[in-house]
Structure 1
Amino acid sequence: MTTQPPIAPLYVFDETWLAAQQEAILEPERPIIDPHHHLWDHTGRYLFDELLADVQTGHNIRATVFIQCRSMYRADGPEEMRCIGEVEFVNGAAARSASGLYGPSRLCAGIVGHADLTLAARVAPVLDALLAAGNGRLRGIRNSAVWHEDASIRTTPQTPPRGLLLDTKFRDGVRELGQRDLSFDSWMYFTQVHELADLADAFPHTRFVLDHCGGVLGIGVHTGRREADFPYWKAAIADLAKRQNVCVKLGGLAMRSAGFGLHDIPTPLSSSQMAALWKPYVETCIEAFGANRCMFESNFPVDKSGTGYAALWNAFKLIAADYSANEKHALFFETANSVYRLDIEAVS
């Protein structure tokens, strides 16, 4: 029997610590789609009720998109098919929300699952089973590609092989995504972004999503190197943005791996303090990709280790304050609505 891996200690959050972060909600009427969150019950619990509590803290969250996190895999059956359990589980959460009994937000309106794309063409029946399990909600697949030569830099329970996105078998699996109109989400470090650029060139008709501002790092060998690393990160983002089939999620900067130290202080930072820290990264992404290919994300509960849901979205609103009304609508709502084909109305 295969047991599910424990979630890394990087993802632990403290509700008592977060309770000190009380803020009024900025622009509470602004419609938001949160295109990146997880549900799990590993060493910590973050399931439907916990997500709902965060979503209902005051921002106008119209819908959310679940992103794979190896949650609720089947305990038996063929190894390659066990990932279907995750989509079955999340589809149940989505059905609860779709009943309307828990408010107007449509939680898990879109689902990004996992399939081992290194199965190449043999991944086809897995993808078809995932589509069936999603009951019309499956929108894409994510394979984490995070690898670094510094073994101390670890942000996932499993360490993918080096150069995953360049692997021939993996690319044969990506080809199956395009045939089913499924997108590909990629979690990688900024030192690997060139690999996603190469993959996007190979499949120009497939939609690709770069998670978490391209994997900013401030731990391991990157500790204390923020200023030195920034030009290399910026160049990687600018080059990737040349591919029109790629978009980027703006977030993930409250993770420990980003190195901003949000978790090691007596009280949480305010939204204005976080906005000041993150603005150079967010603005660089928007300048490179344009608002229509950028979307703010919560990355909860991972980013909850550094900030609360209400303050996080306040920080994003402060960063976006000087953008036009159309750009703000794209950043907070429409890009996610379009990329994940959600068909969500901005107003009730």
Structure 2
Amino acid sequence: MTGKISVKIGETETEKQILFAVNEDWLALRREEPIEPEMPITDPHHHLWDRGSRYLLEELKADIDGSGHNVIATGFVQCDSMYRADGDPKFAPIGETEFVNGIAAMSASGLYGPARLCASIVSYADLFLGPEVDAVLEAHLNAGGDRFKGVRQCSVWDADSTIKSTPMDFPKGLLLDAKFRSGFARLQRYGLSFDSWIYHHQIPELADLAQKFPDTTVVIDHIGAPLGIGAYAFRRDDVFAEWRKNIQELGKNPNAYVKLGGMGMHVFGYDFEKRSAPPGSQELAEIWRPYVETCIEAFGPERAMFESNFPVDKRYYSYGVMWNAFKRLAAGYSQSEKEALFRGSARRAYRLN
């Protein structure tokens, strides 16, 4: 058993549409002035790639600058980008860390503005290698230095095979697999965190992992994706109830963090991209409020962080509108709680200066 079944990124036209389709003209139909533009933000979750569409330093910088929000740092998260084409396949993901660390070095020069892009790097290592994954983790650390913070494992699975959020297919129960956990156990010795992309009914698997490894920071991406398509269409209330119970159990683990974002993705079932114009921040805040408030209640502001998930979520709304929605959602929290949600939690989870 391995962590994933290899399928080329964007192998089918449907997969390309899911991953890459961004309509800049459509996004331009919705413009908003930034709310609280001086508030410092660390965006802990975005991607970079050049495959069918381009999203590199210039594109990320354009979204940040055009938003009017005070993004002071960002974090890159694994997306199978720029893997090495040659050599031992288990070291192929080192190419992603090398690539992103180069972007981070460009940003750290100050020539591209004050924001420190890719201040943290989360890449991929096949934890099914068990103790042998040490060599891969050490190679990531050599390639990324202090910026390399952890590993992400996508393990999205559902009995409804029509539900797809990645070109890769993953086995059921991956996070429970003993061989996977033997590799996961190696993260602690290097002080590395673990990001997880799963669906709502899989959250108990991550909760069990967090409980069994209390000294390893575990981050659930995109609020644990309460599904709204396929077999879950028209069942939003039932899904919410199951998701809420699961997210509350995960939040009981003090080493677990939650990322508040990614909620535009097609698996959530809102179909924002099918509208004649993008949604505004007020509507997004109203739709997302029950989910965001449930997460903050379960984890506390000190273990919850707003994230962009760009350019994936760029299919559904602009960077500026998204951060306005997050600021509307945070309006009722204290200044210290806002600092945690927009900056502090990400700084703690990924050990940022």
| Category of TM-score, reference length = shorter chain | over 0.9
For 1:143-222, list aligned pairs within 5 A: 143-222=153-232
For 1:56-71, list aligned pairs within 5 A: 56-57=65-66, 58-71=68-81
**2:37 match:** 28
Q: TM-score of the superposition, structure 2-length normalised?
A: 0.95
**2:323 match:** 313
**1:268 match:** 278
Give how far 1:3 is off.
8.9
Residue ranges of structure 2 left out of the alignment (5+ in a row): 1-5
Residue deviations 1:171-216, cap 9 Å, x none?
A: 0111110110000000000010000011111111000000001112
For residues 263 and 223 of structure 1, what CA distance do their matches in structure 2 show? 17
For residues 272 and 162 of structure 1, what CA distance do their matches in structure 2 show? 37
For residues 167 and 43 of structure 1, what CA distance do their matches in structure 2 show? 34
For 1:73-92, list aligned pairs within 5 A: 73-92=83-102
Give how far 1:98 is off.
0.1
Pairing partner for 1:330 from 340, 348, 352? 340
Per the alignment, in what secondary structure is the counterpart of residue 146 of structure 2? coil
Give how far 1:47 is off.
1.0
Give how far 1:13 is off.
1.4
For residues 87 and 306 of structure 2, what CA distance do their matches in structure 1 show? 37
Residue ranges of structure 1 left out of the alignment (5+ in a row): 344-348
Residue deviations 1:130-169, cap 9 Å, x none?
A: 0100022100100101011100011011111111100111
Give the AA of the match of 1:92.
G
**1:98 match:** 108
Structure 1: 4+ residue segments shifted above 4 A:
none
Contact kept? 2:130, 2:182, Cα under 8 Å: yes
RMSD after superposition: 1.1
Contact kept? 1:211, 1:249, Cα under 8 Å: yes
Contact kept? 2:175, 2:205, Cα under 8 Å: yes
**1:245 match:** 255
Contact kept? 1:150, 1:221, Cα under 8 Å: yes
**1:10 match:** 18
Contact kept? 2:7, 2:167, Cα under 8 Å: no
Contact kept? 2:7, 2:168, Cα under 8 Å: no
Contact kept? 1:8, 1:156, Cα under 8 Å: no
For residues 79 and 300 of structure 1, what CA distance do their matches in structure 2 show? 28
Contact kept? 1:186, 1:210, Cα under 8 Å: yes
Contact kept? 1:262, 1:306, Cα under 8 Å: yes
